[in-house]
């Protein structure tokens, strides 16, 4: 059996050191202040208002979507997409992430000659180059996003691209994300797209019940069903929805800071809906959503959850390991990651042995 240090409360440092899997990260929402400042400095000509950025905790979900507009005006060429994708991978890797699924909405921009295909190539190219230049320290997949705020034509194009790249870049593109402003009310039109993704063997991560009173929409999307649920904040509002999710065992991607910042969850961590789901032993994966927009990181999210649930170090490591089962990748990748977790437990034992020996020596002196 593995011995872990007995202590009250998990430290941020411990959460930083353990290996982690990140499954819900929107590329443009993940840009750090450092990257945004770099881009703003370069594009003074745009005279961008940063009012929404400066609102801090007073931000509404509307302000968050305003921030995305600002970021999108800065990320306006394939060169910038390539560069920011590498920055984001680097930052997740520095935070102890060993496997990352990045999602992003392919966009075209006539002015810079960027079309959706070039967008895809820039992200895939950055992933390949980062891995190659950094001795495979992190594995990264790319889930093209479908934005529910855009047209069905736009969604169908993205699905087609996702399908095409899942064949030509099968080691990188393995599924799709369904996201965008959750207050749009005509999401039913995207059902054929989600069904189409399933038909061609793409995995799907679907933002679901992110805001109140969307039960009909939720029931409809659950009938596909998605492979993972994003947020699921209000799933427990209706008994039939709650029990069908519990029964389905579809994992929920939990993004505490994101929900609090966008006012869909109370500020007390213990009141976050994931506490209830984890209490039911329903599979939950700790994620960031938009680490830049919500000023967080994956170790900070583990720190929040571990302390809200009073988890031990062993339980926290187990929670991060459990995410491996829900990645959109094959069994070889899962086995590779499980080996990394196994090694990290050995390191833990060695460290304890070392500390114990030191205290024995102390006693002898």
Q: Which residues bind ligand IMP (CB under 6 A)?
A: 26-29, 68, 104-105, 145, 147, 179-180, 182, 207, 210, 258, 289-290
Least distance to Zn ion, CB of residue 288, Å: 9
Query: Does position 289 bind Zn ion by CB under 5 A?
Result: yes
Minimum distance between the CB of residue 135 and ligand IMP, rounded to whole angstroms? 27
C-alpha triplet 204, 33, 36: angle, nearest 5°:
80
Min dist CB 182 to ligand IMP, Å, is: 6
Distance in angstroms (rounded) separating the CA atoms of residues 181 and 282: 26
Q: CB 150: neighbour CB atoms within 10 A?
A: 17
Choose from Zn ion, ligand IMP, none: what does 104 bind? Cβ within 5-8 Å by kind: ligand IMP
Nearer to ligand IMP, 169 or 255 (CB): 255
Which of ligand IMP, Zn ion, none does 180 bind, CB closer than 5 to 8 A by kind? Answer: ligand IMP
C-beta closer to Zn ion: residue 10 or 27 = 27
The 3-state secondary structure of 6-53, one letter per residue: CCCCCCHHHHHHCCEEEEEEECHHHCCHHHHHHHHHHCHHHCCCCHHH
Q: Name the residue nearer to ligand IMP (CB basis): 180 or 251.
A: 180
Task: Name which of 129, 118, 134, 24 is nearest 85 in CA terms.
Answer: 129
Q: 91, 210, 253, 321: which one is catalytic?
A: 210
CB of residue 183 vs ligand IMP: minimum separation in angstroms? 10
Shortest distance, position 271 Cβ to Zn ion, whole Å: 20
163 binds Zn ion, rule: CB under 5 A:
no
Our CB check for ligand IMP shows the closer of 290 and 301 to be 290
93, 343, 347 from 358: Cα distances, Å: 32, 23, 16
- Based on the residue annotation, tell me whether 210 is a catalytic residue of this protein: yes
Q: Which does 105 bind (CB under 5 to 8 A by kind): Zn ion, ligand IMP, none?
A: ligand IMP
Q: How far is CA 30 from CA 4, 20, 64, 361, in A?
A: 32, 16, 12, 47
Instruction: Output DSSP code: residue 175.
Output: E
CA 24 to each of CA 29, 97, 229, 297: distance values in angstroms, whole numbers, following the listed order: 11, 12, 10, 12
- Verify binding: residue 313, Zn ion, rule CB under 5 A: no
Q: Closest approach of Cβ 114 to ligand IMP, in Å? A: 13
Considering only the stretches 232-240, 243-251, 285-293, 342-350, report the one whose residues sit in contact with Zn ion under the rule CB under 5 A.
Answer: 285-293
Question: Which of 285/317 has CB closer to Zn ion?
Answer: 285
Which residue lies nearer to ligand IMP by CB, 68 or 277? 68
Residue 114, beta-bridge partner list: 109
Lookup: tokens for 337: 């990651």
Cis-peptide into 225, omega within 30 deg: yes
Torsional class of 7: left (φ above 0), alpha (ψ -120 to 50), beta (otherwise): beta
Beta strands in the chain (DSSP E): 20-26, 97-104, 139-147, 175-179, 203-208, 228-231, 252-254, 284-286
| Binding partner of residue 254 among ligand IMP, Zn ion, none, CB cut-off 5 to 8 Å per kind | none
Helix, strand, or coil (residue 85): helix
Binding site partner of 233, from ligand IMP, Zn ion, none, Cβ cut-off 5-8 A by kind: none
**Catalytic residue numbers?**
210
Residues that bind Zn ion (CB under 5 A): 289
């Amino acid at each position: 059996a593995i011995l872990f240090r007995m202590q009250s409360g998990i430290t941020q440092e411990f959460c930083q050191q353990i290996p982690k899997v990140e499954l819900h990260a929107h590329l443009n929402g993940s840009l750090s202040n450092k990257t945004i400042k770099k881009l703003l400095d370069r594009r003074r000509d745009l005279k961008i208002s940063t009012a929404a950025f400066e609102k801090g905790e007073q931000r509404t979900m509307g302000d968050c979507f305003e921030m995305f507009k600002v970021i999108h005006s800065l990320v306006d060429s394939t060169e910038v997409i390539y560069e920011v994708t590498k920055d984001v991978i680097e930052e997740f890797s520095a935070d102890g992430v060993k496997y990352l699924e990045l999602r992003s909405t392919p966009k075209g921009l006539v002015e810079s000659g960027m079309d959706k295909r070039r967008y895809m190539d820039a992200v895939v190219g950055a992933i390949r180059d980062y891995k190659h230049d950094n001795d495979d320290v992190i594995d990264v997949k790319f889930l093209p996003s479908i934005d529910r705020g855009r047209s069905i034509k736009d969604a169908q194009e993205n699905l087609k691209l996702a399908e095409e790249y899942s064949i030509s870049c099968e080691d990188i593109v393995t599924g799709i994300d369904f996201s965008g402003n959750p207050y749009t009310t005509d999401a039913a039109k995207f059902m054929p797209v989600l069904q189409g993704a399933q038909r061609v063997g793409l995995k799907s991560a679907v933002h679901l019940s992110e805001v109140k009173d969307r039960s009909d929409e939720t029931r409809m999307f659950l009938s596909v069903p998605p492979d993972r649920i994003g947020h699921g904040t209000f799933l427990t509002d209706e008994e039939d929805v709650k029990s069908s999710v519990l029964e389905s065992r579809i994992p929920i991607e939990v993004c505490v800071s994101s929900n609090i910042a966008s006012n869909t969850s109370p500020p007390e961590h213990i009141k976050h809906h994931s506490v209830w789901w984890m209490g039911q032993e329903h599979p939950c994966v700790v994620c960031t959503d938009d680490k830049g927009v919500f000023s967080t990181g994956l170790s900070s999210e583990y720190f929040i959850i571990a302390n809200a649930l009073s988890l031990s170090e062993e339980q926290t490591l187990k929670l991060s390991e459990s995410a491996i089962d829900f990645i959109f990748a094959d069994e070889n990748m899962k086995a590779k990651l499980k080996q990394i977790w196994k090694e990290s437990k050995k390191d833990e034992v060695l460290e304890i042995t070392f500390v114990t020996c030191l205290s024995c020596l102390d006693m002898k002196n």
